[in-house]
Structure 1
Amino acid sequence: MPLITPAAETLDLSSGNLYVTAGVAVIGIVALFMGIVFRQQVIAADAGTERMQEIGAAVEEGAHAYLRRQFRTLAIFVVLVFLLLLALPADTEAVRWGRSGFFVVGAVFSAAIGYLGMSLAVKANVRVAEAARTQGRDAGMRIAFRTGGVVGMFTVGLGLLGAAVVVLAYQGYAPKVLEGFGFGAALLAMFMRVGGGIFTKAADVGADLVGKVEAGIPEDDPRNAATIADNVGDNVGDCAGMAADLFESYAVMLVAALILGSAAFGEYGLVFPLIVPAIGALTALLGVFITKAAPGGDALAAINRSFYLTAGIAAVLTAVAAFIYLPSSYAELGGDEQVAQLAGDPRLSALLAVIIGVALAAVILWLTGYFTGTDKRPTRDVARTTLTGAATVVLSGIGLGLESAVYKVITLAVAIYLAFLLGGGSMTLSLFFIALAGCGILTTVGVIVAMDTFGPVSDNAQGIAEMSGDVDGEAEQVLTELDAVGNTTKAITKGIAIATAVFAATALFGSYTDAWSSQLQASAQELGQRVQSGEIAPDAVPAIEQTLRDFQTSAGSEVVSPLTLVGVLLGAAVVFLFSGLAINAVTRAAGAIVFEVRRQFRDHPGIMAGTERPEYGRVVDICTRDSLRELATPGLLAALTPVVVGFGLGIGALAGFLAGAIACGALMAVFLSDSGGAWDNAKKIVEDGYHGGKGSDAHAAAVIGDTVGDPFKDTAGPAINPLIKVMNLVSVLIAPAIVLLTVGEDPQDWIRYAIAAVALLVLVVAVLITKRRDLAIGDADEPEDVLVHTA
């Protein structure tokens, strides 16, 4: 069969589907409006005592200063990528500019979500502390969760609005434009996640090591110069960074679903993936309203109950939407020809795919709660190992993380396989159902974001209460309880974020195949037109078609191909290198903070006596400087490694690269997140009076475990989520260019290799610069040769 074929028609939406898409946009606007309403409710609460407000203002000032500097730095990357996207091939000039323009929109939305999350969290911290002090646990919990609800509403609102506007404006070309939208959201989220994670964990580690371990003072003692930076870090890392991360998960999942949906379901596939998360936006509103603990009840149980209830309602409403909106046979969809020939009811299959995603979110919630909850055996076992020292605490936490990673990734694999089976043998349809399962997870994102923000807000509320000295007794215990619940909810949201990352990456993996195969078909069609017009002699056609066949064979090579296996190994290696760079960045920054806090204690004895105020600003400046300095190399690693592999080794090797990154990234992210969460809550168990309580040897061991876990759970682990999506999106974007340079009448292999060489050179230089920085920061008079025996 000849490969040179006539061009295909462009997909357009009917008037009815345009109205439905406009309705989705309206729901997005409603979500944004409700976010504003919830924000006003939080701001209306009492801001606490004068001392609490003073501390809160210092935290707010530091957080705003950091984000301003970070956004100025990231603006450079946004401009550069905007220009690079303009250089990539596109179906039309309108698509080229739309893709680049909506890349900026996605980046701005991601940054806006992070900023909104942070700006409210720094105001809510003192209000939660005051509510717990004057009204009790239920009031404090309500304000903390309502704060998260604001971020959740803005996340789903901007995600729905952005995707719906692109579909309305570009219709059949919307998937191509949405590639830019998702890439912008993912790239900014990765930078904010890495930068915020380095900031928060450097401050946290430094504060714990000098304050709790060396000086023997409480975690948030105002005499510790790192306490303000620690509280600032919670807001720029856990609030701003994680909010941006969850938004990009939302955006990228929608991008993947719409790309695959348009191929499988025609115009229905461009709209139904928008309907599902729109339903989730409405149920999220209900979840925010109903979340409150019964008097004397368990706060975590109340949050979980809200999650399960809203997830169940979303599943029921999705069933109604599927049977009303979708036709009853595949032949009526107007999508892929192979799909049109299948028997069965697409409404039922689509519903089952969404239910798989909803059920997966519930299972991940339960698994994460089991492995990291303070009332569950795994974390209690880690707490018991504090009796035998820090080494056993670290070992038990690593073992817990490794074990939990297996169970969660198996759960993900089962869910993906079940969604795959719904495709009835059509790869196009199977991939779309996998993407729809991811959309099922999105129905819970509004509540998930609220759960995530609840964590750092509760943590900061406890810190401000302790620093102010205005909260004690029962109120202090209430805040400790909410902080422990927040640790678990943060771990849960990270687990679900990992699940969405895997589903999005799997769907994007299918989109990547669609990208290179579509470009191959387009190139063949162009060659056919040139043959018909006489530009190419007929006797040259067989050789050109053989080139196209050779490309197809290499691109679709089996896993046993050595080149594909090379790609798999490289993809897995990037995850390890990225994680190592992130953890080393925290180590360097934390070392600088340790020496700074020690210097202040040494040079200013009045600090420990309580007669002199620590220099909080110096520690905030160190965190800001080091976190922004460390951003570049991880970002370049994510953006350029697919370029090196794709242009240098080809489409097949790049497919293996993505597979290796997805598999290794899923395991590594769960391992890091759950180990860190268990160590943190094990420390809480000891601080609640078990195994000797605060000040004991067991407590010192628990603090060491928590310190090791800080960069695991709040820097490297969460940053892997946007990492694998950025690499997948870069691969989708560059695939057409690789095809154009590889096939045709005059292949330009030398250009491919030159692009790969330049990208590799930039990466090598960036990594070398990073490695030249001293990992173990020492005193100025310390000998340079650290191998010299000084005993």
Structure 2
Amino acid sequence: MTALVIVAVLAGVAALVFAGFKTSWIVQQDPGEDHMKEIASWIQSGAMAFLKKEYSVLAVMLVIVAGLLVFQNLGGVSDRHPSIALAFVVGAVTSGLAGFIGMRVATQANVRTTAAAKHGLTQALDVAFAGGSVMGMCVVGLGLVGLSLVFLTASNLFELPTALGVVTGFSMGASLIALFARVGGGIYTKAADVGADLVGKVEQDLPEDSPRNPAVIADNVGDNVGDVAGMGADLFESYVGSIVGTMVLGLGFTAAAGSNSTTTSIQTAAVLTPILLAALGIVCSIGGTFLVRTKEGGNPQHALDSGSIGAAVAMAVVSAVILLIFWPAGAAYGVSGHVLEWWNLYLAMLIGLAVGVGVGLTTSYYCSIGKRPVRSIAENSKTGPATNIIAGLSVGMESTTLPLLMIAFGVVGAYEVGDLYGVALAALGMLSTTGIQLAVDAYGPIADNAGGIAEMSGQPPEVRAITDKLDAVGNTTAAIGKGFAIAAAAMTALALFAAFLQESGLATISLNNPRVMAGLFVGGMLPYLFSSLAMRAVGNAAMDMIEEVRRQFREVPGLREGTAAPDSARCVAISTGAALKQMIAPGILAVASPIVLGFLLGLEALGGFLAGVTVSGVLMAIFMSNAGGAWDNAKKSFEGEGYRDSQGQLYPKKSEAHKAAVVGDTVGDPFKDTAGPSLNILIKLISIIALITAPTLAARSGSPTETKPSDAPAAVAAHDQPVSAS
């Protein structure tokens, strides 16, 4: 066991070394002239200042939650130990460290991308993608190293069930940081974005990223805290959660009659398989980065796709070989009694990869310029903001259909070939190449910042044209990344739900039970309440930003004409204060709700609650993320040469139709960058909290935890009723 865990640690270290190499290469690139460097320094100082203040607030919460975890696990609850609190802190710290490093490098890469764009598209893409690669590799590297070391330490101190109980704390720490990073970063960036767009572009008729707009620097800072640090924490949490959920389910394995392996060796293999596959994913992701290349005048999207697809294909091939070699000879029974061999696990992984690709392609269709959904929103912009908003809501609702069908059939397929463990492996398969997936995603805000720096520093139009081309691709990759994260969240939440049933000792959850129905309804409601708090926070912060930008245009002589400098620091302060203040309520709601409901109504109600949160949260997340992405690109359809409708009439930039599209985009901004992506973290955080509290609730209610599958190999071997929800 120790040797395999050390292999995983070495793979994580390799990712960190690769990130260090990329960082060293980035800082050696030309940062441009002094004015460019000055603008970049404003963005970097604002981003790092926000992150430091956010982490200081979160540090207090970490101490409180860690104390509660110690108190909860002092009573000798089965398979739990107070050291779970230490694992919780380690998970939170490693997640925060990944965000800090990734965002620092991103704010160094943005200005260097602008400078590289003077020499052509190829060099600009290289710098922007290198910056994204640092974020991606830091997330998977720190995630796997931290998780592996926590597991290695715990497994040397405790029995395997207790060691895995400690490891769940690591996942909870990552989830808590992710929620606040997403919500806080989303509030920050969208308050600035809405203020910059509505006042600067609509009211004052200024171009995108105009240096005369006081909110532009805050908007560029927000791209980093929301879409680099926020997305990094999001996928860090998904990555870790999928590994932990699969490891916990591994305890449910038993050796089949006539197998060459004992139950203990099968369980050990099932627990270690996700760590080993994650290590392989890192190697494949590093290899995929070398495929991201394009010629001058080429399509950056094709280059980025080559890297992602290449890594996925390599993972599909290598994982088959490793599972064939590593999985013990002879069949094993899974959690629900299915007979599983290595190829069952491999097929489940492939299903996860296929679902991830399918959801990504669907998201790309609904959010890409030139496709029917985005064109329909642009067409409806001709008659004003109201019809634009109606069309955007319609597109968002429609966009939930195919992804949910893919997830549903993917879950059934993974279960049929690989048991509940197969469902967990499907989520892990989807996230196995997170390193390059996040690199592609984090590339987007770097390109966006590069365009802002080009505009504010007065670079030639051809430089802005290159950064805009990179940014347009970045919008699509960001939308695909959000869809990918949501699909992974759905799969991960189902794996954690199965682990919750296993840990709580519940054989079934019956809808005939009024407590279960009550939990189901409350869980279905929670994503709506959570989204309301997040959207309201953006609205309140945006009002303050709008009033400040209007005040400066009204009271600062020469600001509109460009002879006076805006007070950008004041706008940065407004976004920072609003984000730090208003991220607390949604965070407390997410942490407290499963604990309160579980203690009030019991384990069955908590199971219903988890089901309601998962279904409602996934639907809301897809709807909001895709509607926001479609609104964004509908607005961009009017920029450049303008939008030509189905009759051939041209609607140029700054036309009334364009202004209507800008209004729609401001509605979509908090949809796609605050509430929507935060929901996938919400469902996983609630699932991991339920998993951690399950033994305590079971002991309190007197549930027969000794009959859980991991303790009843004979029952599983005899094909008793599977652990399921009905």
- Structure 1-normalised TM-score? 0.84
- Once the 2 structures are TM-superposed, how far is the Cα of residue 97 of structure 1 from its aligned partner? 3.4
Residue 664 to residue 297, structure 1, CA distance change in 2 (3 Å):
same
Q: Which structure 2 segments of 5+ residues have no match? A: 254-265, 644-650, 705-726
Q: How many Å separate the matches in 2 of 1:19 and 1:88?
A: 33
1:151 CA drift (Å)? 1.0
- What aligned pairs does 1:239-254 form with structure 2 within 5 A after superposition? 239-254=228-243
Question: Following superposition of structure 1 onto structure 2, how do residues 5-154 of structure 1 map, counting pairs within 5 Å?
Answer: 17-89=1-73, 96-133=81-118, 135-154=119-138
- Answering whether residue 593 of structure 2 is matched by residue 641 of structure 1, we say yes
Mapping for residues 609-620 of structure 1, pairs under 5 Å: 609-620=561-572
Residue in 2 that maps onto 1:476: 464
> What is the Cα-based RMSD across aligned positions, in Å?
1.7
Pairs within 5 Å for 1:265-414? 265-331=266-332, 339=337, 343=339, 346-414=341-409
Matches within 5 A, 1:653-668: 653-668=605-620
Q: 1:396 to 1:355 in 2, by over 3 A?
A: same
Indicate conservation of the 8 Å contact 1:389/1:697, yes or no: yes
- Partner deviation per Cα, 1:621-648 (whole Å, 9 max, x = no partner): 1111111000111011101111121111
CA contact (8 A) 1:261 1:273 kept: no
Q: 1:338 to 1:187 in 2, by over 3 A?
A: closer
Q: What is the rounded CA distance, in whole Å, between the counterparts of 1:349 and 1:388 in structure 2?
A: 54
Contact 2:631 2:661 in 1 (8 A): yes
> Measured at CA, do residues 338 and 421 of structure 1 come closer, stay the same or move farther in structure 2, by a change above 3 Å?
closer
In 2 relative to 1, CA 455–337 (structure 1 residues): closer, same or farther, beyond 3 Å?
closer
Q: How many Å apart are 1:560 and its aligned residue?
A: 3.4
Q: Rg larger in 1 or in 2?
A: 1
Provide the C-alpha distance between the structure 2 equivalents of 1:556 and 1:212, rounded to a whole number of angstroms: 56
Q: Residues 160-186 of structure 1: CA distance to partner in whole angstroms, max 9, x if unpaired?
A: 112221332223133211110000000
| TM-aligned CA deviation for residue 478 of structure 1 | 1.3
What's 1:188 paired with?
177
Partner SS state of residue 422, structure 1: helix
CA deviation string 1:202-249 (max 9, x = no partner): 000011010001000012111111011001111111111111111111
Cα distance in 2 for partners of 1:399, 1:291 equals: 35
Aligned-partner residue type, residue 98 of structure 2: I
Report 1:525-536 matches (<5 A): none
Q: Does 1:466 align with 2:425?
A: no
CA distance in 2, matches of 1:421, 1:140: 46
Q: Output one character per residue of 1:307-343: Cα deviation in whole Å (capped at 9) or x when no partner.
A: 1121011000000001011123224xxx76975xx65
CA separation of 1:484 and 1:407: change in aligned 2, threshold 3 A: same
Alignment partner of 2:144 out of 157, 160, 165: 160
Q: Which runs of 5+ in 1 are unaligned?
A: 1-16, 424-429, 518-551, 746-791
Cα distance in 2 for residues equivalent to 1:614 and 1:501: 42
The worse-fitting range, judged by mean Cα deviation, of 269-278 and 710-719 is: 269-278
Q: 1:668-707 alignment to 2 at 5 Å? A: 668-691=620-643, 692-707=651-666
**Distance in 1 separating the partners of 2:97 and 2:425:** 27
Contact between 2:334 and 2:421, CA under 8 Å: does it hold in 1? no
Q: Work out the number of aligned pairs and report it.
A: 679
Q: Amino acid of the residue matched to residue 269 of structure 1?
A: A
Letter in 1 for 2:275: L
The 5 A counterparts of 1:599-614 are 599-614=551-566
| Residues 251-266 of structure 1: pairs in structure 2 closer than 5 A | 251-264=240-253, 265-266=266-267
Q: CA deviation at 1:93?
A: 11
Q: Deviations over 1:423-470 (max 9, x none)?
A: 4xxxxxx22111111110122211111111011111111111111112
Aligned to 1:512: 500
- Aligned partner of residue 512 in structure 2, secondary structure: coil
Does the CA contact (< 8 Å) of 1:406 and 1:667 recur in 2?
Answer: no
| CA distance, structure 2, for counterparts of residue 338 and residue 108 of structure 1 | 36
**Per-residue Cα deviation, 1:80-115 (whole angstroms, up to 9, x for no partner):** 000000112376899523311010010001111111
Contact 2:95/2:143 (8 A) holds in 1: no
2:718 aligned partner = none
Aligned to 2:484: 496
Rounded to whole Å, the distance in 1 between the matches of 2:55 and 2:545 is: 23
The one-letter amino acid paired with 1:238 is: D
Identical aligned residues as a percent: 42
CA distance in 2, matches of 1:174, 1:580: 38
Name the SS of the counterpart of 1:556 in structure 2: coil
> Do the aligned partners of 1:356 and 1:437 also contact (CA within 8 Å) in 2?
yes
SS state of the match for residue 206, structure 2?
coil
Cα contact 1:358–1:444 (8 A) shared by 2: no
User: Could you tell me whether the CA contact under 8 Å between 1:308 and 1:362 is conserved in 2?
Assistant: no
Q: Partner amino acid for 1:451?
A: V
Find the counterpart in structure 2 of residue 623 from structure 1.
575
Partner of 2:189: 200
- Contact persistence 2:632–2:665 (CA under 8 A): yes
